[in-house]
Amino acid sequence: MVLAPSPPPGCPHTGPARRTVVQAAALAAAGLTAGLAPTAWAAEAPARPAAGPDAEPARRDTAPAPLPLRTDRESQGDILAGFRKDHACFLFLHFGDAVKARSWLTRLLPSISTTEEVARFNRAFSRARRLRGGIDPESMATLWTGIGLTHPGLRLLSGKEPFPAAPAGSSAEAFTQGSAARAQLLGDTGTSAPQSWLFGAEEPARAVHVVLTLAADQPERLATAVAEHRAAAAADGVTVLFRQDGATLPGELRGHEHFGFLDCISQPGVRGFDEPDPADASGVLGKPGTRLIPAGEFVVGPERVNKRPTGLPAWATGGAFQVVRRLAQDVPGWWTQVALRLSDLQRAGAAPADAGREWLGARLMGRWPGGMPVSLCPAAEQLPAPGKHPDAGLDYGQDPQGWGMPLFAHIRKGNPRGGLVLTPGRPPVAQAELDARRLMRRGIPYGPVYKPELGEEHGPQAERGLVFVCHQSDLVGQFELVMRKWVNDPDFPAGRNPRAGCDPVLGPDSAIAFETPSADGTGSRANTLHFGRFVRTEGSVYAFSPSLPVLRALAKGQLDASIEFHTGSVLRPGDVLDAGKARLTLDASGDLALLDAGGARTWRTYTGGVGRDAVLTQDGELLVRDADGGTVWSSGTGGHPGARLLLRPSGELVILAGTRVLWKASAS
């Protein structure tokens, strides 16, 4: 017998799913013309915030903190400002010719949505919704467009290798290799292996070059836009390799994924984009427990956690790595498995005799179907109090055994929060280190709801699942680390006997240890359960969403592959910026040096023994500092706010104010 998910009695599914927006009458005829016109919307009409925990909080009366990233007109939308639409389409494209590809990109450029556009629309929508007492303003809607380029796509458009060097273990290496080549590392094996993928594992002659994202409130408008984009692509010899549609689930499953759980609740806050809480400057206003994370974790260029340098080329500044994956969900198979494992626990006395399958399903996911964390209401689902975020107060620091939130739970595996101990006997991992692993998720379900009583198209054979999308500035340190070291590692967190197991929702076949307090309350009692894989990878692509200036340059066949050292970053002993023919490093003694391809020093600051780190100040000055923060060497280029430091593939290290060279050293 197959079991379909259903909401627990008395716990209706309420909350945000996909954030719908509806078109203003004045713009009913607006949209994408055959010439790919720019995005348009009613003035101040914002993108839909989800009702419930994802909704934007009411604004305070005092003047808000400056939020400069909300007015960014150069970075693409959906990275920091989510598209949040009920309907989406992803077109995976292949270029046939570089000249025609640049022509296609030139015509596409006016329609690409910016962070400023999307953020302004979203905020206006939220304001209108509050004025209507929480009812969506049905007179507001728009269409958003975004573009991600793969490594082959960047190489074809620019006519050269995008990375002057791809050091082992770097995001440059991962991006160059692509998702299919790294399938083994990510757990994409067996039924999830690239041989069975629908996109992302094509032969080089038919490689994916572009992921074009279209998102709208109305399916009719989206369909029109898709048809126009397909026609425009065909006119320039661009082939559509695969089309992936997505849509918010209807009715009581709105905002949920196909297993029946509310999705995308715990998104990171972004410093400089989200308004800080005046009572807690480290948190987001109206979302207790949501930390503000440096924007450089999601967009290349701004300051990152611990001020780490990116080591990426200048063309990456203002953009983000994009991961797009098609994850097929076997809904009846997963719930049947949950029911069987619940029976095992009940026979062992580790689960209440009257518990339903949602009791165990909630512990596997980490949340009840309506979104509340199981550790905050273990007996049965409770809806959050009005105006209170479901994750307010959620922390695992006092739950090292996983009695409240199982160590294998999907939300704990993907975001361990406080209290994570990597090595038994050592202190917990600093929260800032965990902040550096967060992902900006923008997924959407695809396929019909599993309801066999509605007909064959809603039955077990229908294709359904999640289009997983996430943005980050570090492919290896964020998405790949979460998948390899957390989700798919049965020994995470380390040192447990028996091991915690892999993520039973997203991970591979695995035994998990279901731990409960021992009879005397002094230790743990573990029941080992086996969970098979019921989520399969059916496609995966690594892309990059460049800034608008970089896209305009690519449309002319230009790409600056110089390695950029950003303002706000700190170069520490052992750090290396690698531009292929030249490397910039701060050695163990504190000497900042430029090395040629053979490793010989061609320029140095002679700060060995006193130098502790190197920075580029907001004023445009390159400094080597001592342990007390004092300057022991300077480029003497202060007074130039916005200056950039580039390590060119030719071997030159330059500080630029616009195009003017302020200072230069050479490895030649």
Select from 294, 306, 339, 144 the least CA-distant residue to 229: 144
Report yes or no: 265 and 371 within 8 Å, Cβ to Cβ. yes
> In sequence order, which residues have a C-beta less than 8 Å from that of residue 441 and are 6 or more positions away?
264, 267, 468, 469, 470
> Picking from 44-48, 364-368, 443-447, 544-548, which range would have the lowest pLDDT averaged per residue?
44-48
> Is 80 exceeded by the pLDDT of residue 46?
no
Indicate the pTM of the whole model: 0.90
Per the model's pLDDT, the better-predicted residue between 135 and 146 turns out to be 146
Per the model's pLDDT, the better-predicted residue between 238 and 523 turns out to be 238
CA 564, 472, 79, 244 dihedral sign is positive
> Picking from 327-341, 374-388, 577-591, 594-608, which range would have the lowest pLDDT averaged per residue?
374-388
> In sequence order, which residues have a C-beta less than 8 Å from that of residue 612 and are 6 or more positions away?
572, 573, 590, 625, 626, 627
Position of tokens 């098979």? Answer: 532
> Is 50 exceeded by the pLDDT of residue 124?
yes
The CA angle 371-16-479, to the nearest 5 degrees, is 70
Report yes or no: 301 and 565 within 8 Å, Cβ to Cβ. no
> Is 50 exceeded by the pLDDT of residue 1?
no
First to last CA, the chain: 73
Confidence of residue 668 (pLDDT cuts 50, 70, 90): low
Position of tokens 């949340």? Answer: 367
> Picking from 282-291, 445-454, 629-638, which range would have the lowest pLDDT averaged per residue?
282-291
Tell me the average pLDDT across 472-478. Answer: 98
Per the model's pLDDT, the better-predicted residue between 149 and 20 turns out to be 149
**Whole-angstrom distance, CA of residue 3 vs CA of residue 8:** 14
Per-residue pLDDT, 144:
98
